[in-house]
Structure 1
Amino acid sequence: MGSESKIHTFEEVAKHNKDKDCWLIISGKVYDVTPFMADHPGGGEVLLSATGKDGTNDFEDIGHSEDAREMMEKYYIGEIDAETVPQKRTYIPPHQMSNDPASEFFIKILQFLVPLLLLGLAISLRNYTKKEYCATLEPRPPGHNHNVSFLLGFINTTIFL
């Protein structure tokens, strides 16, 4: 590291985002890692993904060794002008609906009543159609055995199909 370091703007550093020309910003310092692209254990793509932004978090999240930190010194080319680095955008979550107790109670009532109403409708419909259907059937002759009819039908379908 030289005694006098050059100050780079963010726009200037962001232009160096290619395989043959790659600069990174880490902890307020600017590094030209172009010669290291082929040797990086994670591959050159990892380094390229950290260009055009402050790569400090990416660098620290990996947990680099002290040897890696010492190796970085030979790629140091200056400092970043902090005034030119864009402010981080903060995530603003969408506005949540208010938890009105009356609306929660209404929703719970609907969750109970709607299935109950559907069940009642299904039972009513079944009873109505059953009466209509039964009226069209002919009565069975006396002494008719249901089990014998089932057995004969079962045997016929088993043998002839």
Structure 2
Amino acid sequence: MPTLTKLFTMEEASEHNTKDDCWVIIDGKVYDVSSYLDEHPGGDDVLLGVTGQDATDEFEDAGHSKSARDLMEKFFIGELDTTSSSIPELEIVKKAGKDIPQKFMEVTKQYWFVPVAVVGISVVVGFLYTRKK
């Protein structure tokens, strides 16, 4: 009978971001490395710097050995649920982005004289400069 793998959302994993409760995500798998912090050859700072987030790039960049990859299985607690909704911060940016064209038009209408003044001054300065020569 196959064992069921627990699924975690990115939001759930990101809540585990302290020295006493340290989770990292590597290649879509979630690892609880809280008990390994003191033993990590690169020091606990390395793991704490990526706790609660996807650390795949950092893990691959460090060039871990096969034995390190085998050791990871000891800390495996589940997989990242990729079917869950997007990260909340992205939704906030998306909502704020809808107002940008409207706000731009309001500012453009309110300060129309600024570009007109710049063009006018440029024409006068250019005319005076060419006239002196």
If the TM-score is normalised by the length of the shorter chain, which range does it land in? 0.5 to 0.7
Structure-2-length-normalised TM-score:
0.60
Partner of 2:29: 29
Partner of 1:63: 63
Following the alignment from structure 1 to structure 2, what is the Cα–Cα distance between the partners of residues 47 and 53?
Answer: 10
Q: Which has the larger radius of gyration?
A: 1
Partner of 1:40: 40
Q: Contact 2:25–2:31 at 8 Å: present in 1 too?
A: yes
Following the alignment from structure 1 to structure 2, what is the Cα–Cα distance between the partners of residues 40 and 60?
Answer: 16
Structure 1 residue 70 displacement after superposition = 0.3
Structure-1-length-normalised TM-score:
0.50
Give the residue type in structure 1 aligned to 2:57. Answer: N
Partner of 1:76: 76
Root-mean-square deviation (Å):
1.8
**1:112-134 deviations in Å (ceiling 9; x for gaps):** xxxxxxxxxxxxxxxxxxxxxxx
For these two proteins, the number of residue pairs brought into alignment is: 86
SS at match of 2:22: strand
The within-5 A match list for 1:65-144 is: 65-84=65-84, 86=87
Which has the bigger relative contact order, CA under 8 A and spacing at least 6?
2
Runs of 4+ deviating beyond 2 Å: 83-86
Q: Contact 2:22–2:52 at 8 Å: present in 1 too?
A: no
Structure 1 residue 53 displacement after superposition = 2.2
Following the alignment from structure 1 to structure 2, what is the Cα–Cα distance between the partners of residues 54 and 83?
Answer: 16
Partner of 1:8: 8
Structure 1 residue 45 displacement after superposition = 1.1
Partner of 1:137: none
Following the alignment from structure 2 to structure 1, what is the Cα–Cα distance between the partners of residues 18 and 27?
Answer: 21
SS at match of 1:17: coil
Structure 1 residue 52 displacement after superposition = 3.1
Following the alignment from structure 1 to structure 2, what is the Cα–Cα distance between the partners of residues 54 and 66?
Answer: 20
Percentage of identical aligned residues: 50
Give the residue type in structure 2 aligned to 1:54. Answer: D
